[in-house]
């Protein structure tokens, strides 16, 4: 029997989807899921496969050298490192856990892979390491790294460590960098599950800034298929970009959700922007498409409908997450931003109208001055009470 694949962070969103993908597609697989169960790690994500003899869960921290050595010395065929602090907004509040898990944790895994001669190491990275794009073009694997948030900086640092272990020690490692994933089992701090859950409860959705930031969306199952290819066939020392060829502004995406869930636009709230908010991501996946024959298969609207249905039909999964810790985070992140002073959607979602709205927002001093684009604001027609105060 083959030595197990060590999947770190397997109780999170992508890791749990990947474990399920492997169990569905490879009858001979053996998996050890190594996860320390942070707020984002959820055993419910894998309850349906927990008794599969090919699968074993081990609670452990990738930044704990002793625990990692203990599992590595039993013999592994591969390490696939999903474990990370993954939310940009949290990294803005406090970057410490990001440095510890994403950088130190990666270093410890790399050391273990070296010490115990693990024949394959895969680092799951992100398009965010490339920074932000202007209105045109896409990131290739040759794009210089220019991370803008503490989260993406920690992921870029990890990528650099992986590169150095390949170069210096000949470690057989590969890196994947993917764009924004959506699908089942995603923790509702990320935009899509947060918006879906709020809309299903007739609650407002907080769109940051002018809503015109662009993300390149990919269904998590397409991402899992790409990881599977790279793990088995990718060339050592290489980076593979993975994207969905599906660019959407946040506002377009929000409007699509409203249409599918049949909710009114008055639920949109434009709130204070994320500091340092990257404007646009887009991935050029030519390399993986040409070398490994992978391409995204799931059409966006279809994947989105299926995803909405998934959250709608899992009230228990949702209820188990919407507990004290989550609600406390939600209040800290959105409480003031979503107060009644935040402007509701008044215009249509077209970019031109968004510019008008954005100009209005500027006149209310709701957004940082440096971020404001668009025509000069007309005299503000705002109520005097609260004027001059920030919305969030
Ligand atoms: P997630 O936050 O849903 O899950 C992270 C998992 O890692 C959780 O189960 C958590 O308990 C575990 N974990 C955290 N710290 C750990 C530690 N010190 N030791 C062991 N386990 C630990 O994240 P996700 O969205 O599933 O992302 C998985 C990976 O994919 C991350 O590396 C992320 O950077 C990358 N990525 C995510 C996306 C996306 O859109 N979500 C896109 C590209 C790349
Ligand atoms: O691009 C890959 C990255 O995608 C991954 O590396 C990260 O782990 C993952 O979290 C994700 O990062 P983003 O910052 O792009 O995802 P998030 O869901 O937080 O935000 C998506 C967009 O929506 C972004 O432009 C910010 C905006 N947004 C987000 C939230 C949470 C809002 O407008 N309102 C919100 O409440």
| Percent of the chain whose predicted confidence (pLDDT) is above 90 | 84
Q: Whose CA is nearest to atom 14 of ligand 2?
A: 88
| pTM, 2 dp | 0.90
CB-count exposure of residue 106 (10 Å: 0-12, 13-18, 19+): buried
Q: Please tell me the least confidently modeled range out of 57-71, 141-155, 342-356.
A: 342-356
Task: Give me the mean pLDDT over the 312-324 stretch.
Answer: 94
Instruction: For the chain, state the CA radius of gyration.
Output: 21
Task: Give the pLDDT score at 337.
Answer: 83
Q: Whose CA is nearest to atom 29 of ligand 2?
A: 191
Asked if the model's pLDDT at residue 353 lies above 70, the reply is: no
Closest CA to 6 of 35, 37, 45, 28: 35
pLDDT digits (tens, 9 = 90+) for 187-236: 999 999 999 999 999 999 999 999 999 999 999 999 999 999 999 999 99
Neighbours of 21 (CB within 10 A): 18
Task: Give the pLDDT score at 346.
Answer: 52
Please tell me the number of the ligand nearest to residue 16's CA.
1
> Does the beta carbon of 175 lie inside 6 Å of ligand 1?
no
Task: Give the pLDDT score at 290.
Answer: 98
Please tell me the number of the ligand nearest to residue 90's CA.
2
Confidence of residue 384 (pLDDT cuts 50, 70, 90): very low
**DSSP code of 139?**
B
Task: Give me the mean pLDDT over the 255-273 stretch.
Answer: 98
Asked if the model's pLDDT at residue 379 lies above 60, the reply is: no
Asked if the model's pLDDT at residue 375 lies above 80, the reply is: no
**How many CA atoms lie within 13 Å of 387's alpha carbon, on the beta-carbon side?**
9
d(Cα 17, Cα 221) in Å, to the nearest integer? 7
Task: Give me the mean pLDDT over the 6-13 stretch.
Answer: 98
> Does the beta carbon of 182 lie inside 6 Å of ligand 1?
no
Task: Give the pLDDT score at 339.
Answer: 74
Confidence of residue 355 (pLDDT cuts 50, 70, 90): very low
> Does the beta carbon of 40 lie inside 6 Å of ligand 1?
yes
Confidence of residue 357 (pLDDT cuts 50, 70, 90): very low
> Does the beta carbon of 41 lie inside 6 Å of ligand 1?
yes
Measured in Å, residue 14 CA sits from the centre of ligand 1 at: 7
Please tell me the number of the ligand nearest to residue 125's CA.
1
**Ligand 2 binding residues, C-beta < 6 A:** 86-88, 126-128, 179-180, 190-191, 194, 206-208, 213, 215, 250, 274, 281
pLDDT digits (tens, 9 = 90+) for 269-308: 999 999 999 999 999 999 999 999 999 999 999 999 999 9
d(Cα 61, Cα 53) in Å, to the nearest integer? 23
Task: Give the pLDDT score at 343.
Answer: 56
Measured in Å, residue 142 CA sits from the centre of ligand 2 at: 24
Task: Give the pLDDT score at 341.
Answer: 55
Catalytic pick among 55, 130, 151, 165:
151
Catalytic pick among 35, 85, 127, 289:
127
CA distances from 70 to 1, 111, 115 (A): 21, 13, 12
Measured in Å, residue 150 CA sits from the centre of ligand 2 at: 14
Task: Give the pLDDT score at 377.
Answer: 36
**106-115 and 65-72 are packed helices; what angle lies between their axes, rounded to 10 degrees?**
40
Task: Give the pLDDT score at 1.
Answer: 67
Task: Give the pLDDT score at 20.
Answer: 98
Please say if 127 is a catalytic residue. yes
- Unique residue bearing structure tokens 């939600």: 330
Measured in Å, residue 10 CA sits from the centre of ligand 1 at: 8
> Does the beta carbon of 192 lie inside 6 Å of ligand 1?
no
pLDDT top residue among 334 and 353:
334
Asked if the model's pLDDT at residue 47 lies above 80, the reply is: yes
pLDDT digits (tens, 9 = 90+) for 101-160: 999 999 999 999 999 999 999 999 999 999 999 999 999 999 999 999 999 999 999 999
Task: Give me the mean pLDDT over the 360-367 stretch.
Answer: 36
Residue 271 forms beta bridges with which residues? 208
| Sign of the dihedral through C-alpha 124, 128, 131, 134 | positive
One DSSP character per residue, 61-115 reads -TT-HHHHHHHHTT--SEEEE------HHHHHH--HHHIIIIIIIHHHHHHHHHH
Task: Give the pLDDT score at 336.
Answer: 82
- Unique residue bearing structure tokens 């490879």: 26
Asked if the model's pLDDT at residue 352 lies above 80, the reply is: no
Residue 241 forms beta bridges with which residues? 177
Domains and CATH numbers, the chain: 5-342 (3.40.50.720)
Please say if 151 is a catalytic residue. yes
Q: Best mutation site among 8, 9, 178, 179 for ligand 1, i.e. most ligand atoms within 8 A of its Cβ?
A: 9
Measured in Å, residue 190 CA sits from the centre of ligand 2 at: 6
Mean pLDDT, the chain, as a whole number?
89
d(Cα 383, Cα 340) in Å, to the nearest integer? 13
d(Cα 138, Cα 124) in Å, to the nearest integer? 20
> Does the beta carbon of 151 lie inside 6 Å of ligand 1?
no
Task: Give me the mean pLDDT over the 43-55 stretch.
Answer: 98
Are 172 and 119 in contact by the 8 Å Cβ rule? The answer is yes
């Amino acid at each position: 029997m083959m030595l197990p694949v060590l999947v770190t962070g397997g109780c999170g969103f992508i890791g749990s989807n990947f474990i399920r993908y492997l169990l569905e597609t490879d009858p001979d697989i053996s998996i050890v899921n190594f996860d320390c169960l942070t707020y984002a790690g959820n055993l419910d994500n894998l309850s349906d496969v927990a008794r599969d003899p090919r699968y074993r869960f081990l609670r452990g921290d990738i930044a704990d050298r002793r625990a990692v050595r203990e599992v590595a010395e039993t013999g592994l065929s591969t390490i696939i490192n999903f474990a990370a602090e993954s939310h940009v907004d949290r990294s803005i509040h406090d970057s410490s856990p990001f440095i510890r898990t994403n950088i130190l944790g990666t270093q410890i895994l790399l050391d273990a892979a070296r010490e115990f001669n693990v024949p394959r190491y895969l680092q799951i990275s992100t398009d965010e390491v490339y920074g932000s794009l202007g209105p045109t073009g896409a990131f290739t694997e040759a794009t210089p790294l220019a991370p803008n948030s503490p989260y993406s900086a920690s992921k870029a640092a990890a990528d650099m460590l992986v590169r150095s272990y390949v170069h210096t020690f000949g470690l057989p490692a590969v890196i994947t960098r993917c764009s924004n994933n959506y699908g089942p089992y995603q923790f509702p701090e990320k935009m899509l599950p947060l918006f879906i859950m709020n809309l299903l409860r007739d609650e407002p959705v907080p769109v940051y800034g002018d809503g015109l930031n662009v993300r390149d969306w990919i269904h998590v199952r397409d991402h899992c298929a790409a990881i599977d290819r790279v793990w088995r066939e990718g060339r050592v020392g290489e980076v593979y970009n993975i994207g969905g060829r599906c660019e959407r502004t946040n506002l377009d995406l929000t409007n699509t959700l409203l249409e599918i869930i049949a909710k009114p636009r008055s639920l949109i709230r434009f709130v204070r922007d994320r500091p340092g908010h990257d404007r646009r991501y887009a991935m050029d996946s030519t390399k993986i498409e040409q070398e490994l024959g992978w391409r995204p298969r799931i059409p966006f609207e279809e994947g989105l409908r299926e995803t909405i249905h998934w959250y709608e039909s899992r009230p228990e999964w949702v209820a188990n997450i919407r507990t004290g810790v989550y609600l406390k985070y939600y209040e800290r992140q959105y409480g003031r931003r979503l107060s009644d002073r935040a402007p509701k959607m008044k215009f249509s979602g077209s970019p031109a109208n968004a510019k008008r709205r954005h100009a209005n927002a500027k006149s209310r001093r709701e957004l940082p001055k440096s971020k404001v684009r668009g025509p000069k604001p007309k005299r503000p027609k705002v109520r005097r009470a609260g004027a001059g105060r920030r919305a969030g």
